[in-house]
């Protein structure tokens, strides 16, 4: 099930907008494709992210995958729980497996993201 | 996953893997299971209970005849004539320059009959090289790679599970031993070998019977926690056990001494063998690089191909790396300059242009309790 209230990138990140801030993670589909996540590398709070640029890395037993920022903005919080419990990304990708919180620089960029129906169609293609 | 993956060969067990929901992958020309429920869970099952592996992609080359032993001794770096019947050893076939063509297990099935098991991706090359090197000898090479299914059961409970489906007394098959007999009523070769660092068995049968072995062991192991295990966990298991993988630690540009496997090369055997002259020079001069274990001390995972640094200078390259499921820490194998190879040496791995501290540690990373 793809949450209908989120927006998505083609690279399988989700973003949940709450006022002028937003939480970012990777989708269940992405976590499933990666397999068991064993390592997550995230930026420090305060760093400025650029839309669609890499801001970190998620690694499974077998694969290394970049994380791409859905929008530009400043990192205001990082999910430190993933340092010791990277498996949260597989177990609860839209909840406890979140990655970063950002202060959105330009809300207009949100329109460049996919809605749930479009993301669903993207992943259905395989 | 939808879509089809192109591969020359499909394992005879492909329908079982699909029914189990396996993620499939092309490996060495074969469509094989990468994972079923997850690499970590499968890895743990092998360490704590037992795992069932489909290894039908491996190459099985039978060599038979009065000169089978001497012929293999001239073709490989080891001395198969020194094997007792029912015993096996680890071996390699090298090019004249000493570069590794493949690593092998050689089993002596009878005085004049041997089984050579090669990696899937190299089976054709090894078969061709053996045919060429055995030419003129009283020995026949029978490449049964496409006619043989190989099912392995590995883990502390594997002997108990297998014993319920075979009349063979497994206690007489020691590590690196092999016996002929029946499993689930099917004629089989049962070897106590593996690639996981655990006790376990590899069962060779004619291709169509593979599915019956798989089903019989699946049923026999249900209560004991036996799980199907894919190539993903096979890789993490062998890495923890410090075992090399062809294409990562071993290739044509590497010789057995660099890989820390000089003991496999038997200069004391009778007669010449392909690679002898080149390897004698390496043994005398010492290797120019050495395979080591690395334990990451900083935050980061070393991966195949990442540079290894000593101070600011590049000393080598990572050949395999992952987060060890058993230890919960990132581990790696790497080639480094001989002067940087002592356990305790602090090096760094260049992880996406950031140096992450790594310590040289003895191999293997994991050794089972006996």
Q: Where are the domains of chain B?
A: 9-58+147-240, 59-143, 289-370
Tell me the shortest Cα–Cα distance from A83 to chain B, in angstroms: 9
Q: Does domain A7-110 have CATH number 3.30.465.10?
A: no
Q: To the nearest whole angstrom, how far is the Cα of A36 from the nearest Cα of chain B?
A: 6
**In the numeric block, which tokens belong to residue B286?**
């010492």
CB burial of A20-55 (b: ≥16 within 10 Å; e: otherwise) equals: eebbbbbbbbbbebbbbbbbbbbbeeeeebebbeeb
**Structural contact between residues B358 and B293, judged by C-beta atoms closer than 8 angstroms:** no
Query: What is the per-residue pLDDT across A10-51, written as a single tens digit (0 to 9) for each?
Result: 999 999 999 999 999 999 999 999 999 999 999 999 999 999
**Chain B: which residues have CB within 8 Å of chain A?**
1-3, 23, 34-35, 38-41, 232, 235-236, 299-301, 303, 322-323, 325, 330, 352
Q: Are B69 and B269 in contact (CB under 8 A)?
A: no
| A39 with B40: Cβ contact below 8 A | no
Q: Looking at the domain that runs over B59-143, which CATH code has it been given?
A: 3.30.70.1400
Residue A18, min C-alpha distance to chain B (Å)? 32
Q: Which residue of B has its CA nearest to A56?
A: B352
Do the beta carbons of residue B362 and residue B293 sit within 8 Å? Answer: yes
**B352·A57 Cβ contact <8 A:** yes
What ipTM did this prediction achieve?
0.89
Q: Which residues of A touch B234 (CB under 8 A)?
A: none
Residue pLDDT, tens place only, B316-327: 999 999 999 999
- What share of chain A has pLDDT > 90, as a percent? 96
Low-confidence ranges of chain B (pLDDT < 70): 1-4
Is A35's CB within 8 Å of B39's CB?
yes
State the pLDDT at residue B312.
84
Nearest CA in chain B to A59: B301
Name the residue among A57, A59, A62 with its Cβ closest to that of B39.
A62
What pLDDT was estimated at residue B4? 65
A 1-40 residues with CB < 8 A to B: 35-36, 38-39
CATH topology of domain B289-370: Elongation Factor Tu (Ef-tu); domain 3 (2.40.30)
Helices (H), chain A: 28-34, 81-84, 88-91, 116-124
**Token couple for A19:** 């006022």
Residue in chain A nearest B43 by alpha carbon: A61
The partner residues of A120 in beta bridges, in order of sequence, read: none
The DSSP bridge partners found for residue B269 are none
Give the model's pLDDT for residue B2: 39
Give the homologous superfamily in CATH for domain B9-58+147-240. Answer: Probable tRNA modification gtpase trme; domain 1 (3.30.1360.120)
d(C-alpha B161, C-alpha B149), whole Å: 19
- Judged by CB atoms closer than 8 Å, whether chains meet at A126 and B322 is answered as no
> Could you tell me the residue ranges of all domains in chain A?
7-110
In chain A, the residue whose alpha carbon lies closest to the alpha carbon of B232 is A62
Tell if the CB–CB gap between A64 and B300 is shorter than 8 Å: no
Confirm or reject contact between A41 and chain B (CB < 8 A): yes
pLDDT for A92-125, tens place per residue? 999 999 999 999 999 999 999 999 999 999 998 7
- With CA atoms as reference, the chain B residue closest to A87 would be B40
């Amino acid at each position: 099930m793809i949450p209908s209230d989120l927006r998505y990138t083609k690279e399988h990140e989700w973003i949940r907008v709450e006022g002028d801030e937003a939480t970012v993670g990777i989708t269940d589909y992405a976590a499933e494709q990666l397999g068991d996540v064993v390592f997550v590398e995230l930026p420090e709070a305060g760093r400025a992210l650029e839309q669609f640029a890499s801001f970190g890395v998620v690694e499974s037993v077998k694969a290394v995958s970049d994380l791409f920022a859905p929008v530009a903005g400043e990192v205001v919080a990082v999910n430190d729980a993933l340092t010791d419990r990277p498996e949260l990304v597989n177990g609860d990708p839209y909840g406890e497996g979140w990655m970063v919180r950002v202060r959105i620089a330009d809300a207009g960029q949100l329109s460049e993201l996919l809605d749930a129906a479009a993301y669903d169609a993207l992943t259905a293609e395989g | 996953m939808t879509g089809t993956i192109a591969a020359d060969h499909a394992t005879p067990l492909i329908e079982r893997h699909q029914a189990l929901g396996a993620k499939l992958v092309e490996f060495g020309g074969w469509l094989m299971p990468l994972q079923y429920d997850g690499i970590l869970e499968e890895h743990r099952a092998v360490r704590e209970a037992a795992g069932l592996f489909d290894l039908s992609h491996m190459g099985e080359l039978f060599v038979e005849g009065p000169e089978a032993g001497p012929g293999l001794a001239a073709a490989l770096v080891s001395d198969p004539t020194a094997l007792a019947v029912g015993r096996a050893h680890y071996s390699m076939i090298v090019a004249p320059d000493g570069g590794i063509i493949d690593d092998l297990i050689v089993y002596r099935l009878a005085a004049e009959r041997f089984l050579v098991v090669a990696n899937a991706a190299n089976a054709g090359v090894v078969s061709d090289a053996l045919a060429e090197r055995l030419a003129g000898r009283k020995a026949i090479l029978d490449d049964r790679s496409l006619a043989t299914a190989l099912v392995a059961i590995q883990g502390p409970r594997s002997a108990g599970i297998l014993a319920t489906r075979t009349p063979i007394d497994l206690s007489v098959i020691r590590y690196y031993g092999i016996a002929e007999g029946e499993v689930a009523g099917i004629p089989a070769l049962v070897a106590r070998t593996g690639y996981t660092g655990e006790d376990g068995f590899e069962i060779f049968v004619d291709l169509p019977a593979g599915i019956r072995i798989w089903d019989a062991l699946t049923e026999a192991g249900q209560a004991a926690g036996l799980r199907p295990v894919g190539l993903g966990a096979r890789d993490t298991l062998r890495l923890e056990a410090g075992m090399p993988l062809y294409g990562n630690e071993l290739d044509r540009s590497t010789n057995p001494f660099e890989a820390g496997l000089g003991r496999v090369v038997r200069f004391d055997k009778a007669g010449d063998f392909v690679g002898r002259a080149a390897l004698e020079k390496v043994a005398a001069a010492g290797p120019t690089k050495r395979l080591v274990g690395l334990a990451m001390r900083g935050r980061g995972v070393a991966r195949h191909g990442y540079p290894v640094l000593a101070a600011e200078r590049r000393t080598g390259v990572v050949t395999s790396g992952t987060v060890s499921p058993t230890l919960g820490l990132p581990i790696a194998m790497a080639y480094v300059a001989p002067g940087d190879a002592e356990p305790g040496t602090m090096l760094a791995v260049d992880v996406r242009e950031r140096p992450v501290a790594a310590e040289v540690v003895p191999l293997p990373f994991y050794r089972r309790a006996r």
